[in-house]
Amino acid sequence: MKAQLDNISVAAAQEIASASDKASLETVRIKYLGKKGALTAILRGMGALTPEERPVIGAYANTVRANIEAFLEEKGASLASEELKNALVKEKLDVTMPAKVKTVGKLHPITQVENRMKEIFVGLGFDIVEGPEVESAYNNFDALNAPADHPSRDFQDTFYINDTTLLRTQTSPVQIRAMKTMTPPIRIISPGRVYRCDEVDATHSPMFHQLEGLVIDKNITLGDLKGLLELWAKEMFGSDTKTRFRPHNFPFTEPSAEVDVSCFVCGGKGCRLCKGEGWIELLGAGLVHPNVLKAGGIDPEVYSGLAFGMGIERVVMTSYGIDDMRHLYENDIRFLGQF
Residues 233-262 that bind ligand DAH (CB under 6 A): 250, 253
Q: Judged by CB, which is closer to ligand DAH: 32, or 308? A: 308
Nearest CB to ligand DAH, comparing residues 16 and 283: 283
For position 309 contacting ligand DAH by CB under 6 A, the verdict is yes
Contact set for ligand DAH, span 1-40 (CB under 6 A): none
Residues 62-101 that bind ligand DAH (CB under 6 A): none
What pairing do the DSSP bridges indicate for beta strands 165-167 and 243-248? unpaired
Q: How many CB atoms lie within 10 A of CB 233?
A: 22
Q: Give whichever of 5 and 146 is closer to ligand DAH, judged by the CB atom.
A: 146
> What are the residues whose beta carbons fall under 8 Å from the beta carbon of 92, sequence distance 6 or more?
none
Cα 87 to Cα 21: distance, rounded to the nearest angstrom: 14
Tell me the closest approach of the beta carbon of residue 141 to ligand DAH, in angstroms: 11
Q: In this structure, what DSSP letter does residue 284 have? A: E
SS3 166: strand
Least distance in angstroms from the C-beta of 95 to ligand DAH: 60
Rounded Cα distance between 195 and 205, Å, is 8
Asked if 308 interacts with ligand DAH (CB under 6 A), we say yes
Which of the stretches 4-12, 15-23, 68-76, 303-311 binds ligand DAH when contact is defined by CB under 6 A?
303-311
d(CA 273, CA 321): 7
| 286 touches ligand DAH by CB under 6 A | yes
Least distance in angstroms from the C-beta of 246 to ligand DAH: 12
State the minimum distance, in angstroms, from the CB of residue 101 to ligand DAH: 43
Does residue 232 belong to the site contacting ligand DAH (CB under 6 A)?
Answer: no
285 binds ligand DAH (CB under 6 A): yes
Task: Identify which range of 66-74, 101-109, 301-309, 312-320 contacts ligand DAH by CB under 6 A.
Answer: 301-309
Sheet holding 253-262, edge to edge: 127-128, 186-195, 207-217, 304-311, 279-288, 253-262, 243-248
The single residue among 135, 212, 260, 313 that binds ligand DAH, judged by CB under 6 A, is 212
By beta-carbon proximity to ligand DAH, the closer residue of 169 and 241 is 169
x/- mask, ligand DAH, residues 156-185, rule CB under 6 A, reads --------------x-x-------------
Considering only residues 295, 307, 322, 325, which one is a binding residue for ligand DAH as defined by CB under 6 A?
A: 307
Query: To 10 degrees, what angle do helices 22-33 and 2-18 make?
Result: 170
- Cα 4 from Cα 211, distance rounded (Å): 95
| Exposed/middle/buried for residue 159 (C-beta within 10 Å: 0-12, 13-18, 19+) | middle
Backbone angles phi, psi at 30, to 5 degrees: -65, -40
Pairing of strands 127-128, 186-195: parallel
Contacting residues toward ligand DAH, per CB under 6 A: 170, 172, 212, 250, 253, 284-286, 307-309
